[in-house]
Chains A and B, each alone.
Chain A
Amino acid sequence: MTSLQVFALLPLIILMAGIVVILVVTAFYRSHPLAAGLTLLTLLLSFLSAVSASGGPPVQVSSLLVMDHYALFYIGLIVAASFFVALISYGYLKIHSENREEFYILLLTATFGSAVLVSSTHFASFFLGLEILSVSLYALIAYQRLDPHNIEAGLKYLILAGASAAFLLFGMALVYAATGAMEFDQIVTTLAGSNSGVSAIELIGLAMLIVGIGFKLAFVPFHMWTADVYQGAPAPVTAFVATVSKGGMFALLLRLFHNTNFQSYGSPLFVVFAVISIASMLSGNLLALLQNNVKRILAYSSISHLGYLLVPFLIVGQGATISITFYLVSYFITTLGAFGVVAVLSDGRADADNLEQYRGLLWDRPWLAAIFTVALFSLAGIPLTAGFIGKFFLIAAGVGSSDWLLVILLVLASAIGLFYYLRIVVIMYLRPQDEISANLRLSSVPWAGAVALAVLVILLIGIGVYPSPLIRMIQIMAASLG
């Protein structure tokens, strides 16, 4: 391994080193602030090294990993998201849990897994990254071992993720059998190069791959776990699942298929993804209408947002990469903000996820209500927020490639989505009627969470008003994917 490769891998190496350091430190001296501080430091260093490495040319590290602009951008995004999750967790864990230090170790390993996913170019690294992420998540979701909801959610996730990993592995094996390759580039060229179209084995293999990936991304019809896990997991972990876990997987999906030509309407892959996209957009939004639990609403909303992302995904090329990445960035910020508010509001007994608990929030906690409102508006795609520009990009990409059916369904789905986002906003602005939620309002907001939320909301509005610098970064990054 050359020094260039070591330097390029620095973001991952720093994460690993941080995990070891915190493990060792925790073994001798348990301290919540110390563990949290070391975690934040690790994430910060990793982020900085990703930024500094992004100046150089792409570096291929063995056939497993590539450190190009694309990977570094997504590593930066994932690490930054984990940073905010860690900040939000600090106050949350203070009230909730007894063993707090291991939480940060698991958070770092999960982040590491996701970072491997976005830089992998090979089935082996893909699977390793996925498993590192998943196994850490099993523990994170069930972290509060005395809370039955946590345990239930963890078990559900464990069983379904295990099954989907099996699908994924089998799919990889079939694709390998048909193409003789494990590297993404070679698989795609083999698939594209075969004159007789895609063979049955390849197709089955790809279908199984899509099942495995679709589970992680909670596409319909692989979305069954989402609402339960979102609801059951501790709020910061839910934020992590919604952002880092899904974002890493989507980046990998984009890298895997970015050269595949879906544009021919007859192609089975196009049909599969189009159907998944439509089903996710519509059923995500429709099911969210029926919920009375904020975390479940956000879970179904995330299903529909991932469905939106498939609209530009079906267009090949840099335009799609730019649209998707921009939307993912805004989605990350928005989701972290929304779950951040839920986490900050939660008291020692249960997460503040009942819609009734939010009644009149504006009058008791104006700042939190304002932040939540901005986040919900961003999810709904209202101007002055990053979500508005993001949705604009999605629709622009769809119109640009004349996928009118998908675009019109996207518009329809987001109109449905307005109902439940506004429902939460309306409830926050009603006058409180009773004392259901009074206890929520007494505890003060932990400073770490407050800082995180303030920064997130500034980013949301900043990107919504002046998106140019971010777009420039994403353009450079998309060019490296080719």
Chain B
Amino acid sequence: MILPWIVLFLIIVGLLAWLSARLGSNWPRWISLAGLVVHLVFLLTLWLRGNNLIVISGQGPWIARYNQAWIPQFGISISLGLDGLSLLLLVLTDVLGIMAVVCSWKAIENNLGFFHFNLMWILASISGVFLALDLFLFYFFWELMLVPLYFLIGIWGHENRVYATLKFFIFTQASGLLMLLGILGLYFIHGSNTGAYTFDYFQLLGTSMPSGTAVWLMLGLFMAFAVKLPVIPLHTWLPDAHTQAPTAGSVYLAGLVLKVGAYGMLRFLVPLFPQAAHQLAPFAMALGILGILYGAVVAYGQTDLKRMVAYTSVSHMGFVIIGIFAWNTLSLQGALIVMLAHGISTGALFILVGDLDERIHSRNIQKMGGLWETVPVLSGTALFFAVASLGLPGLANFVGEFLVLLGAYQVNITVAVLATLGFIVWTVYALWLIQRAFHGPNTHAWKLPDLSGREIAVYAILIAIVFWIGLFPQTIINTAQPALDALQKSGTVTQVSLLPATQSQAAAHPVNRPLGKELP
């Protein structure tokens, strides 16, 4: 019974925040913040308590499960499940949710009630996506997420917001409908095979179908996930939406919405269509490499700081897609850690750009320069997150990217080598950013207030998390490992004989290998 409340709680907090706007402008802020802190504490207690997994045969290890008929006529149920993977992503959701509320404390002045309502509902629907184990329910939350995001960007966004929201909405909606086609195709094939028409994830796993059909249905799902992730030719909504969104919206988009695409691939795409996914793997990894290089190079050419950070997201998510499609223990661990680390570090970069924008009322890097002398704390923080983002060892991103490379190396050496180039181009854009914005002479003679206590608190928490993931990644991996193992099993089990030699070796590697032991 706890699982529906994880979603419902946020929905209720959102409604309360909206209604409380009549009482005064600080009410929605405090209600949202308090609600999210309670939510986060609850999730953390679940995490700390977490070793008693319920292992349901054929369903993997779960921390909690919930099942309730919703539309029984069509085999639709409210089926929710929490495992280590979902839990980590939910914690990320709450952390970024809190950061978004705090960083909007001063920046958003009008319609506070509705603003916080939207913030909470985005979090609620994202939580729903991370918990849903019924494909219809998953699609429901997937689409629901768009509406509050649309309002968030469309009402509180920057100058070109109407164009950006329209593009964002149509990209995601159209690709979502393609996913619906894929889900429905699976539903009917499963129904005609077994006579049981259901959207239940576990029953749909292992549905047998002609490989041609599987490829088409899988592509339907892939389109939706690839738009969100984003994968290269489908990424064009992202720079616009990120740039035009208010800071909180950018944090959500980069930190959470992109993760939803990766989560969909991990949880649904590969396990439901293992064979087709393996056929797609070379193309997907090639697109991942393209994304890594293209995103970084284009980021380098941007003068709008927000746009620049947005393009780096395209680049970093390339590693996630490589990690997912390499589909072995190391690469999946890596993909998960990249997801978490990127959520935190890119979220922080967007908050930084937002704070700068509040001070100099511009996101244009040409209006900056020499800011270190007037805002040293802010600049130092920016340097920290820039080097975290470029993959400095000891910080969060490095661990994830390193694991992805290790995993990819086992599958395809060329992919690993080309992906490594990402580290070089990232160094270029990250240092370029620091040099142009913060170093050098203060040509515009800015005299700015440095970070306030509220802002320092935000960054301190995020910096602590980056160090934590970077130095003690095993705590994260331990939580996620049972879930990743179960996913990996359902994604590969029937495929071993069909894989090329290197891949089947990778799949046959012992799972549960602790990090750092018997590495190749």
Contact = CB atoms under 8 A, between A and B. Distances in A.
B44 interface: no
Contact of A407 (B72, B146, B181): B181
B286 interface: no
A436 interface: no
Contacts of B154: 425-426, 429
B276 to A, nearest CB: 17
Nearest to B185: A399
Contact of B169 (A396, A422, A429, A430): A422
Given A396-B184, A426-B166, A468-B71, A411 B144 contact: no
Contacts of B170: 415, 418-419
Nearest to B71: A468
B468 interface: no
Interface stretch (A3-11, A85-93, A138-146, A382-390): A382-390
B151 interface: yes
B166 A419 contact: yes
B7 to A, nearest CB: 13
Interface in B258-309: none
Interface stretch (B171-179, B248-256, B418-426, B509-517): B171-179
Given A383-B143, A468-B71, A400 B184 contact: yes
Contacts of B143: 382-383, 388
Given A411-B178, A468-B72, A468-B73, A426 B188 contact: no
B155 interface: yes
A301 to B, nearest CB: 16
A464 to B, nearest CB: 10
A260 interface: no
B70 interface: yes
Contact of A399 (B144, B146, B147, B188): B188
Contacts of B187: 396, 399
Given A388-B143, A422-B169, A429-B154, A414 B71 contact: no
Given A399-B184, A415-B174, A472 B147 contact: no
A47 to B, nearest CB: 25
B162 interface: yes
B165 interface: yes
Contacts of B147: 377, 382-384
A400 B185 CA distance: 7
A33 to B, nearest CB: 35
A225 B32 CA distance: 51
A293 interface: no
A426 B165 contact: yes
A466 B71 CA distance: 8
A395 B151 contact: no
B151 A429 contact: yes
A438 interface: no
Given A419-B166, A422-B169, A426-B165, A408 B71 contact: no
B116 to A, nearest CB: 16
A475 interface: yes
A475 B162 CA distance: 42
B180 interface: yes
A407 B181 CA distance: 8
B181 A384 contact: no
A471 B75 CA distance: 13
Interface string A373-411: 000010010111000110010011001100000011001
Nearest to A400: B188
B409 interface: no
A430 B177 CA distance: 28
B140 interface: yes
Contacts of B74: 396, 471
Contact of A411 (B72, B169, B181, B185): B181
Interface string B181-200: 10011011000000000000
Nearest to B72: A468
Contacts of A430: 162
Interface in B35-88: 70-74
Interface string B110-139: 000000000000000000000000001000
A162 interface: no
B174 A411 contact: yes
Nearest to B191: A400
B126 to A, nearest CB: 14
Contacts of B136: 392
Nearest to A399: B184
A86 B438 CA distance: 67
A467 interface: yes
A407 B184 CA distance: 11
Contacts of B178: 411
Contacts of A389: 71
A377 B173 CA distance: 12
Contacts of B174: 411-412, 415, 418
A375 to B, nearest CB: 14
Nearest to A410: B177
Contacts of A475: 73
Given A415-B173, A429-B151, A395 B144 contact: no
A426 B70 CA distance: 33
Contacts of B165: 422, 426
A425 B71 CA distance: 30
B71 A467 contact: yes
Given A419-B170, A471-B71, A395 B181 contact: yes
Given A383-B140, A383-B143, A411-B181, A418 B173 contact: yes
Contacts of B70: 466, 468
Contacts of A423: 166
A399 B191 CA distance: 12
25 contacts: A377-B147, A382-B146, A382-B147, A383-B140, A383-B143, A384-B147, A388-B143, A389-B71, A395-B177, A395-B181, A395-B184, A396-B74, A400-B184, A400-B188, A411-B181, A415-B170, A418-B169, A418-B170, A422-B150, A422-B166, A426-B162, A426-B166, A429-B154, A468-B73, A471-B71
Interface of B: 70-74, 136, 140-141, 143-144, 146-147, 150-151, 154-155, 162, 165-166, 169-170, 173-174, 177-178, 180-181, 184-185, 187-188
Given A388-B140, A411-B181, 11 more contacts: A383-B141, A395-B177, A395-B180, A396-B74, A415-B174, A430-B162, A466-B70, A467-B71, A468-B71, A468-B73, A471-B71
